[in-house]
Structure 1
Amino acid sequence: MTSNIDTLVTVFGGSGFIGRHVVSALARRDYRIRVAVRRPELAGHLQPLGRVGQIHAVQANLRYPASIEAAMRGAHVAINLVGILAEGGAQKFDAVQAEGAASIAKAAAAVGARMVHVSAIGADAASPARYARSKAAGEQAVLAAVPTATILRPSVVFGPEDQFTNRFASLARMLPVVPLVGAETKLQPVYVGDVATAVAEAVDGNTRPGATYELGGPEQLTMREIIEIILETIDRQRLLLPLPFGLASLQAMLLQFAPGDLKLTPDQVELLKVDNIVSEAAKSAGLTLQGLGITPDSMQAIVPSYLWRFRKTGQFARKNA
C-alpha cells in the first residue's frame, strides 16, 4: 500500500464547518495538509486532527492573489471550500465564490496541481439568486483554468457546527412559532462527514476528471419535514407558520440586517423557491455519493448526536428516559 505522506494538499477555507471535516478525512489518509485561511491563529483546533507536523496553517485571502500563490507553492492538490451564505463588508458573493475560485484555480494551474472545488447544487448562471449565479461563475472559472478539476455540488449540508439544523433548533428554543419559508421546497440534506469523504476520494484520484458530482443524503425532504425532524429531536412542540414567498421577501428586506439566527436575506428567499436535490442526470451517470461508493447518512441518524443540547433537559431529555 502506497503512502500519501509525500503529497501536499492545500485546503482553502480549511478551518470552517466543512473544512475541519475535510482536514480530518485527509489526515486519516496520511496526506500533508496546508490549511490556507484568512486568520491562521484561529485554526489551532485543527492540529489534534493529525500527527505532529502533518497540518500547517498559512495566511491567505482570496482577494489577494499573491497570498494564494504563496499558499500553493509546492502543493500537489488544491481544495477550495471557501463560500459565504450572506454578504457582509468586502465579503461579496462574486468576490469570494467567483473571483476567489478563479484565483485559486489559476494558482493551481501555475504549479501543475490538481483541483477539487466544492460548489453547491443549484449553481446556475441564470438563477435570480446572486449566490447561485456566483457559484456557477466559480465553477466555470475553475474548469477554464484546470479542465481536469473535480466539482462537488452538495445539497444543504448538516452536521455538528452547521448553520442549518442548529439555527432552526435555536429558533425553536426561542420562539413559540417557527416561520417557514419554502415549506414545500424539497432539499436533500447531506451529512458533512459524507461530503468530506467525497472530497478525500477526489484527492485520492477516484473521481472522473472534469466531472461535476451532486452530493445528497438518502432522503428528499421538504423544508417542513426537516423542521419536524428537528423539533422531534429536541423534544419541542412548536407551531409551524408557512410564509408565502411575497411576504417572506418583504420580511427579508428587514431581517437581512438582523443578528445571528434571525437573519434572513432576500437572496436566501430566492434560493428557497427552487428544489435543491440531486438531478436524475447525475444519478444515471453515477456522479453521486453512491457512485463514489459512499452510503450517505440520514438526518435522523446524525442530528440527535449534537442537537440534544437544545432539549430542555439536554441529553437526558424526557423522551430518552
Structure 2
Amino acid sequence: MAQFEIAKDRIITVFGGSGFLGRYVVRALAQRGWRVRVASRRPDLAFHLQPLGRVGQIHAVQANLRYPASVSAAMRGSEAVVNLVGILAEQGRQNFEAVHLFGSRAVARAAQDHGIKTLVQMSAIGADPQSASDYARTKGKAEMAVREAIPEATVMRPSILFGPEDDFFNRFAALARMSPVLPLIAGGTTRFQPAFVGDVAEAVARVIEGVGMSGSTYELGGPDIRTFKDLLTYICAVTGRKRLLLPLSSSLAYYPAMVSEVANGLAMGALPSAFQLTRDQLKLLESDNVVSPAAQASNLTLQGLGIQPQSIESIVPTYLYRFRKSGQFDKNRQIA
C-alpha cells in the first residue's frame, strides 16, 4: 500500500482536473502519492474528486485561463503541471482561441516563471497549426506555444476517448434511442482508434513520474482501428437497437450543423448532447483520427509507455446497457 502514502512535498497542479479525463488523471496521480491541486473556474464543481484520494490529498482552487495571475497562483509550490483544458464546441467567451491557445500559453509561461519543467499538455490526434478545423488548428498552435516556453514539455495526442462518462458512445447511444436513423457523416468512412480514458490517464501519470521521453509528442490510440460506420454499428448491437445508417456527405450535413449551433446558442448550451453538432466538427470528421506511422515507429504510443490498451469490447458494454430497452435486465446484457 506504499503507493497510497502521501509525500507532502510533491504537489502537482492539474488544470481541467474536474472533467471527464481529469477525474481519471487525478486518481492516477493520487494513487502515486502526489498532492493534487485541481485548478478550475468553478472549484465547487470539483467536490466529486475528493473520494479519489485521502483526506486533504486533493484540493480544488480557483483559476481561470483567461487571467494569467490566477493561473500562476494555482501552481505556486508545484513540482509538475498537467493541462487538460479543452472544449469541443465554442460557447460565448469559451472559444477555441481563448481556451486552447491563450490558456495553454498562460499555463506554460506560468510554469516557466515558477521554474517547473515537468509539464504535460493534452492535445489531440490531428492537431495542426494549418488545419482547416478551428479546433485542430488551435490545438496545434497551443502545442507550439507550450514548447516555446517549456521545451521539455510532453504533448499527448489521444484519439477519441471512451469510458463511462464519454461524449462519443453515450451521445450516439442516446441518439439511437430517440431516432430511427443515424447519420454516417462523411460517408462513415473516417477511421478512429478509440482509447480508454483510464489508459490515457495512466500514460499521463507515468510521464509525470519520469517514464518515457520528455519533450516528445505521444499519440495515444486503442488496440483497434474502426470506421465511423463500424462504431455506430457496434453501438446499435450493444444497445439492441436496429437503426438505419444513412450516409451523409459533409456538404449535406452543413446546414443541419448550422441549425444545431444556433439552437444550442439560443438554449445557452442546454441542447442535449445527442443533437449537438457543429460545422467545425464536420471538418474534423473528414480526416482519419488514428496513430501515425511516425509515432508507431518511434514508439511514442501507449505501448511505448508500457501500457497495454484496453479494447472497446471490454469496457463499453459495461456502461451502455442503460440504453437498452430493458436496461440492466435486458436478456442480451452480456453482449460485447
TM-score range with shorter-chain normalisation? over 0.9
Query: How far, CA to CA, are the matches of 1:72 and 1:181 in structure 2?
Result: 42
**Are the counterparts in 1 of residues 133 and 280 from structure 2 also a CA contact under 8 Å?**
yes
- Alignment equivalent of 1:126, drawn from 124, 130, 135: 130
The SS at the match of 2:332 is helix
In structure 2, what is the equivalent of residue 117 of structure 1? 121
Structure 2 residue 96 is the aligned partner of structure 1 residue 96 = no
Shift of 1:256: 1.6
Q: Distance in 2 between matches of 1:284 and 1:199?
A: 21
Aligned pairs, how many? 321
Given the alignment of the two structures, is residue 198 of structure 1 paired with residue 211 of structure 2, yes or no?
A: no
Percent of residue pairs bearing the same amino acid type: 56
Deviations 1:190-215 (A, max 9, x none): 11000100000111011211100000
TM-fit CA distance, 1:116: 0.5
After TM superposition, give the deviation of residue 320 of structure 1 in Å.
3.8
- 1:218 corresponds in structure 2 to 223
Equivalent position amino acid for 1:10 in 2: T
CA distance in 2: counterparts of 1:189 and 1:99, whole angstroms: 28
Separation (CA, whole Å) in 1 of partners of 2:279 and 2:230? 23
Letter aligned with residue 275 of structure 1 = D
Q: Which secondary structure does the structure 2 equivalent of 1:278 belong to?
A: coil
1:252 aligns with 2:249: no
Letter in 1 for 2:147: L
Out of 141, 148, 158, the position equivalent to 1:137 is 141
Report the alpha carbon displacement of residue 235 of structure 1 after superposing the two structures with TM.
Answer: 1.2
Q: Distance in 2 between matches of 1:187 and 1:303?
A: 15
2:321 corresponding residue in structure 1:
308
Equivalent residue runs for 1:43-54 within 5 Å: 43-54=46-57
Letter in 2 for 1:40: P
The answer to whether residue 277 in structure 2 is matched with residue 264 in structure 1 is: yes
What is the CA-CA distance between 1:257 and the residue it aligns to?
2.7
**Matched residue, 1:294:** 307
Which of 3-12 and 202-211 deviates more?
Answer: 3-12
CA distance in 2, matches of 1:21, 1:313: 30
Matched, 1:238 2:243: yes
Alpha-carbon offset, residue 44 of structure 1: 0.5
Residue type of the partner of 1:159?
G
1:25 counterpart (23, 28, 40): 28
**How far is 1:135 from its partner?**
0.1
Q: Which AA in structure 1 matches 2:222?
A: G
1:4 positional shift: 6.6
Match status 1:163 vs 2:176: no
* Conserved? CA contact 1:229–1:300, under 8 Å: no
CA contact (8 A) 2:239 2:321 kept: yes
Amino acid at match of 2:205: A
RMSD, aligned CA: 1.3
Q: Which structure 2 residue ranges, 5 or more long, are not aligned?
A: 264-270
Within 2, Cα distance between the matches of 1:141 and 1:66?
18
Aligned-partner Cα distance in 1 for 2:162–2:40: 22
Secondary structure at the counterpart of residue 137 of structure 2: helix
User: What's the secondary structure of 1:56's corresponding residue?
Assistant: strand
CA distance in 2: counterparts of 1:101 and 1:45, whole angstroms: 25
CA deviation digits over 1:12-41, x for unaligned, max 9? 000000000100111111111000000001
In the other structure, the counterpart of 2:70 is 67
**2:325, 2:125 → 1: CA distance?**
35
AA matched with 2:301: T
Distance 2:31 2:133 in 1: 37
Shift of 1:279: 0.3
Residue 229 of structure 1: CA displacement?
1.2
Determine the C-alpha separation between the residues in 2 that align with 1:36 and 1:98: 17
TM-score where L is the length of structure 2: 0.93
8 Å CA contact retained: 1:257, 1:263? no
Q: Where does structure 1 differ by over 4 angstroms across 4 or more consecutive aligned residues?
A: 1-4
Tell me, yes or no, if structure 1 residue 281 matches structure 2 residue 314.
Answer: no
Q: How far apart, CA to CA, are the structure 2 residues paired with 1:140 and 1:66?
A: 22
Deviations 1:165-196 (A, max 9, x none): 10000000010111121300001111100010
In the alignment, which of 1, 4, 11 is matched to residue 14 of structure 2? 11
2:119 is matched by which residue type in structure 1?
Answer: M
SS of the residue corresponding to residue 58 of structure 1 reads strand
CA contact (8 A) 2:108 2:149 kept: yes
The aligned residue for residue 268 of structure 2 is none
CA drift at 1:111: 1.0
> Contact 2:221 / 2:291 at 8 angstroms: preserved in 1?
yes
Distance 1:66 1:180 in 2: 45
Are the equivalent residues in 1 in contact too, given 2:250–2:282 (CA < 8 A)?
yes
